[in-house]
Amino acid sequence: MLKTSIFTMEAPMAIATLTPTGANRTLARAPKHDVLPMPPLEYTDEVAKETAHLYERVKDVVPAIEWPFFAPYIKAINDLKEQRNAVILAHNYMTPEIFHCVADKVGDSLQLARLAGETDADVIVQCGVHFMAETSKILNPEKTVLIPDMEAGCSLAESITGADVRLLREAHPGVPIVAYVNTSAEVKAEVDICCTSANAVQVVESLNAPKVILLPDQYLAQYVASQTDVEIITWKGACEVHERFTGEELRAYRESDPNLRIIAHPECPQDVLAEADYTGSTSQMTKWIEDNKPAKVVLVTECSMADNVAADIRDVEFVRPCNLCPHMKRITLAKILDSLVFMREEVEVDPSLIERARASVERMVNLNS
């Protein structure tokens, strides 16, 4: 059995480890669609009646006092989707009123990438962060892809550039490079294949190489290294949500209730994963809870995830160690409605990058799909 070792390549002095906000992002272009009238946003008896079934779904996680504010936006968004032939793709970290009440398809990054490639809608509204919208555009260059807030970024995506990847390739000639999907289009265009937290181990092992570069998340790379004999070279990036969790924090939860089950995301540090009963992506977390039905569980990830799972699985008690993602929380019902009314915040990807970036994403999507 090969000894697993991890090497961290620091960013060169000339290239900052964290690039300025928006540095890897493409700009929105001028709208090419007709602007529609802004729908009325009053909470009427009709709105209450048409959204009652949706509130029934989220009543355990959305306070009743908030529903009269949310409901008019929800009705307006759902009506406009039909007019625009739009599909709303929502990540598992969206708030419940988005995830359960306006989203057409939901999931983790891998699921959303696959769904983006399958949709026949003319317009994709990406309720997530910018790299997710870029991925949808890469897979659907002919479609209109909107993100309700162009500034919804990601600390991982902003930790590395295409130039950094080229330097890594020069330093390690012949070593395959895997990019976490939480990266910009320019990074995806420079690598051999992408991965998500759900399939990172599978992707690395599919390369049949003794050594692999896995970037930019150092903690995901450490997790993959613990699950395989492949030697991993990584970059010093991290998710600002998951890196804040500590093993000490989880031990305190365990001491307070020995029957508590702890489920952690692989973007967490190793001392956190050592305390977990299960480690997996957000979709894998959900499946584990569905299959095992623990009496009480703590999800060590972004806190909206627990709300969304709790709305569907009501016989499990969720303990919430609440670390919010400030970027995911930039996506709101009001901004989704604005996107559909004005068709603004359209995501474009440099045409010179699309083919190469698509190849690395499709290699991932097609792996045992």
Binding residues for iminosuccinate: 91, 109, 180-182, 197, 265-267, 282
Q: Which two tokens stand for residue 346?
A: 């359209």
DSSP class of residue 130 equals: H
Binding site as annotated, residues: 91, 109, 154, 180-182, 197, 239, 265-267, 282, 325
Binding site as annotated, residues for [4Fe-4S] cluster: 154, 239, 325
Phi, psi of 194 (to 5 degrees): -100, 170
Phi, psi of 125 (to 5 degrees): -105, 115
DSSP class of residue 221 equals: H
C-alpha pair distances (Å), 46 with each of 42, 71, 72, 209, 269: 10, 11, 10, 61, 49
Q: First and final CA of the chain: distance in angstroms?
A: 29
| Residue 308, amino acid | N
Give the bridge partners for 211, in sequence order.
231
**72 exposed, middle or buried (CB, 10 Å; 0-12, 13-18, 19+)?**
buried
Helices (H), the chain: 45-58, 67-84, 96-99, 109-118, 130-139, 162-171, 185-188, 200-206, 218-227, 247-256, 270-273, 282-292, 304-312, 333-342, 351-365
SS3 content of the chain, % helix, strand, coil (to 5): 45, 15, 40
The rounded distance, in Å, linking the Cα atoms of 194 and 180 is 6
